[in-house]
Amino acid sequence: MPPITNAEIAAALFSHADLLELAGESPFRARAYRAAAESIRDWPEPVASVAGAAGLRTIPGVGEGIAAAVTDLVSSGSHQPFDDLAAAIPPSLAGILTLPGIGAKTAMKLHRELGIADLADLERAAIDGRIRAAKGLGARTEVTVLAGLDALKERTGRMPIGSALPAARAFASAIRALLPDMRVEIAGSVRRYCETAADLDIVVESRDHPGTIGRIVAAPAIGRVISQGYDALRVALQSGIEADIFLATPERFGTVLVRATGPAVHLERIGPLPDHAPDEPAVYAAAGLPWIPPELRLGGPEFTRTAEIPALIRIEDIRGELHCHSTWSDGAAPIGGMAAAARDRGYRFLAITDHSGGLGVANGLDVARLTAQRAEINAESGDPVLLAGSEVEVDRDGALNFDDPTLAALSIVVASLHTGLRQPRDELMARVERVLRNPNVDIIAHPSGRLIERRSPGDFDWPRYFAIAAETGTALEINADPARLDLKPAHAEAAVAAGCLLTINCDAHHPGGFANMEYGIAVARQAWVQRDAVINTWETSRLLAWLASRG
């Protein structure tokens, strides 16, 4: 029997977290198991080789109890507490938790009232009308279930870029450690910053293909070899992610890297690639083109707008962030910790925008707590300049959680819709227009409301949305959280064309969250956005003057 892989251990921990949630256990326990599962899944070496040893506790998130569970999984493939919980609650019921709008309490009610154990049972019950007739469920639950099932069918099953890019970087680093004198580059959709990826692509420089392959397949990060040829192989990593590895001699490295990065439509526009090109600029020069950054390789505008490329926004242009959270609501660090992280990035300003009370699950602030928080923010001095703000929840009729005097007293107001995104277009647009025309609102956060592979966007009339935002001067956010990437490139480009201002923010809930800025910058570049259209590239004095002129 082959050793259990990191992916299999992580799957068991994720399953146990779901069952804990369904059983009504503390959400902190479920969260702990999920955090440990993520760490184990992404650990670069086989966890089975350190299980039962002191090394297991060095994995982030693995405490004494989880370490014992992992040790059992490695030695026997099972863990008694997991088995006991699975005997009481069908593990297949966890699939229902993947539906937007369906939480653990509703899932258990569906199970108890209707005997539903999986998604197939759920779909039959919804089609038969049994959910609307069930006690404590009703027509609204049935509508949510049917909409969730439709959304689930639209999911691709691909990895979000926020998981794929770190995995690719870790794997590339592992190969570089084995081949320190050779070039190793990420390729494929991950290098192009596509919002999802099916797998990883890595190009490795090699002068001895059989020897290079031998060293790579022995890497601890690799779980198994799927296929192998003279200059390419496909492997499954310990995490379960699959990767294609392409070998290239030094004189062909550029040609292989361009081809492996793709996409096909871009390669077709370039024309025949040279057989020998040591780097990418040589490939493009052979076609009479300047080097085109990977995130712009879309198969169309990059060939007609090459003169604009040097003027596109870069991560170095960002001078601060205007949407982040602290422990006052659902963040993981105090205000001082978030400010220190922003300072470390060289930021000159930072808006603290904890949730308003309307989003109860996020420990939102009421007016009294907001006032106390503002006093703490004002007590901070030095760099970066801190702005006292709020991410204010928008009710279903377009009203905001705080009244106008409260909003006017804040330095910055970020409005957001987290619920009611399935309202009909006319209702959604009336709701958004009311927010955009409120002079106290400075920014609309994650404007479509989508969660990639998890929640569909609202059905907005985007031309009208952008026209009103341009008229009122309200900035629209490109949310850099890779789970959102909202606005998406096509919408961001249309917004700027309509005369809208943008802002790119990480919506950071912990200090490490600021690192997500690169994803937002990639979206903006794919939308051909230049620096001045983004308000958090402005000098502090200009930004403060703009905020003072509003509301």
Enter the tokens of residue 100: 């937007």
> Residue 459: which region, alpha, beta or left (left: phi > 0; alpha: psi -120 to 50)?
beta
| Residue 209 CB neighbours (<10 A) | 17
d(CA 153, CA 516): 28
d(CA 146, CA 77): 36
d(CA 250, CA 7): 34
Task: For CATH 1.10.150.110, list the domain ranges present in the chain.
Answer: 6-153
From the centroid of its chain, how far is CA 476? 18
The whole-number average pLDDT for the span 308-313 is 97
How confident is the model over 472-482, as pLDDT tens digits? 999 999 999 99
The whole-number average pLDDT for the span 106-115 is 92
Average per-residue pLDDT in the chain? 93
Beta bridge partners of 194: none
Kindly write down the DSSP assignment for every residue of 28-41, as one continuous string.
Answer: HHHHHHHHHHHHHH
How confident is the model over 335-370, as pLDDT tens digits? 999 999 999 999 999 999 999 987 767 789 999 999
Asked which of 17-26, 35-44, 115-124, 162-171 is least confident by mean pLDDT, the reply is 35-44
| Model confidence at 212: pLDDT above 90 | yes
| Model confidence at 25: pLDDT above 90 | no
How many Cα atoms within 13 Å fall on the side-chain side of residue 122? Answer: 30
- Give the rounded percent of residues in the chain with a pLDDT score beyond 70: 99
pLDDT computed for residue 193 by the predictor: 98
How confident is the model over 434-486, as pLDDT tens digits? 999 999 999 999 999 999 988 889 999 999 999 999 999 999 999 999 999 99
Check whether domain 315-548 has CATH 3.40.1310.30, yes or no: no
- Cβ 443 vs Cβ 476: under 8 Å: yes
| Model confidence at 5: pLDDT above 90 | no
d(CA 60, CA 39): 6
How confident is the model over 45-100, as pLDDT tens digits? 888 887 565 678 888 888 888 998 999 998 888 899 999 999 999 899 998 988 88
The whole-number average pLDDT for the span 134-157 is 86
Asked which of 210-219, 291-300, 358-367, 523-532 is least confident by mean pLDDT, the reply is 358-367
- Sequence length of the chain is 551
Buried b vs exposed e over 349-379: b needs ≥16 C-beta within 10 Å? bbbbbbbbbbbeebbbbeeebbeebbebbee
Enter the tokens of residue 266: 């871009």
Task: For CATH 3.30.460.10, list the domain ranges present in the chain.
Answer: 159-287
Q: Which CATH class is domain 159-287?
A: alpha beta
| Model confidence at 311: pLDDT above 60 | yes
Exposed/middle/buried for residue 146 (C-beta within 10 Å: 0-12, 13-18, 19+): middle
pLDDT band, very low/low/confident/very high, at 255 (cuts 50, 70, 90):
very high
pLDDT computed for residue 496 by the predictor: 98
pLDDT computed for residue 1 by the predictor: 59
Kindly write down the DSSP assignment for every residue of 150-173, as one continuous string.
Answer: HHHHT---PEEHHHHHHHHHHHHH
The whole-number average pLDDT for the span 261-288 is 97
Q: May I ask the CATH architecture of the domain 6-153?
A: Orthogonal Bundle (1.10)
d(CA 176, CA 278): 18
Whether cis (ω within 30° of 0) applies to the bond prior to 384 is yes
Which is more confident, 163 or 188? Answer: 188
CA dihedral 352, 441, 483, 194 (to 10 degrees): -120
Buried b vs exposed e over 310-332: b needs ≥16 C-beta within 10 Å? eebbeeebbbbbbbbbbbbbebe
Residues 6+ apart with CB under 8 A from 149: 99, 119, 122, 123, 126
Single-letter amino acid, residue 101? G
Task: For CATH 3.20.20.140, list the domain ranges present in the chain.
Answer: 315-548
How confident is the model over 371-386, as pLDDT tens digits? 999 999 988 878 899 9
